Amino acid sequence: MLNDPFNVVVLLVAALVAGALNAVAGGGSFLTLPALVFAGMPPVVANATGTVALLPGYAAGVMGFREDLEAPPGLSLRALAVLSLIGGALGAALLLVTDNRTFSRIVPWLLLLATILFAFGPMLLRKVNESQSGHVSVGKSAVGVLAVCIYGGYFNGGLGILLLALFGLLGQANLNAMNGMKNVVSALLTAIAVAIYAWGGLVAWPQAMVMMIAATAGGYFGARLARRIPAPMLRAGIVVIGLIMSMLFFLRG
């Protein structure tokens, strides 16, 4: 795949822009997964490889919010970390036993779901905050976190919105703390998922390393440029990208 200059350019550009999008608003998976698939990589391997490429961005996000880290009510940081690792491992294990034919059928729906979550994310978060009354029980909190982490270990798209909505439901109100914990959970579940992907032989390392470098650069330099774009316009652009990619995958069959 890297022998084709066109494929290399596609992967570099997709990872560069994905890194910038994740740093500002999220939605990077809408580009990395389709780029790898359309460059000829099997869907399951493309999903795992794209996740590896975006891992450094989550780690950088944790450092950026290190002073604001605070677990949601009812859960300690240790409990949240354990749930993140277990959920990420279960999701990754589920991907290991999913064949390419089945995953190809699921991907368009996952992309569409992630796009809808991204599009209506702000509205969802407002509704959550408005309807919030008291704190959820520890048991329900743990189950909610575990479920979202399993999803994240299987498919990364829309994970940030799901986590922010979940933390709101759990009674967390500080947005910086919510974003910080979102990055912590994402980094942990992605790290364990990547380890399992690697153990299962799902990662195309040459492509992953090339995209990882580009995604890291995009997260650092691209974010500055992206911040000049009005937030509604940026969000609308990401939604359009998500819808186009979903449609292409549906047409691809």
* DSSP secondary structure, 66-93, as one string: GGG--PPTT--HHHHHHHHHHHHHHHHH
**Average pLDDT estimate for 66-92:** 88
The domain tally of the chain equals: 1
For helices 121-131 and 100-119, the axis angle rounded to 10 degrees is 60
Average pLDDT score, the chain = 83
Q: Measured between alpha carbons, how far is 95 from 110 in angstroms, rounded to an integer? A: 13
Q: What is the pLDDT of residues 144-165, one digit of tens each?
A: 899 999 999 999 877 877 887 7
Could you tell me which residue, 57 or 18, shows the higher pLDDT? 18
Domain extent at residue 210: 5-252
Residue 199's Cβ-side half-sphere holds a number of Cα atoms within 13 Å equal to: 12
Q: Evaluate if pTM is beyond 0.85.
A: no
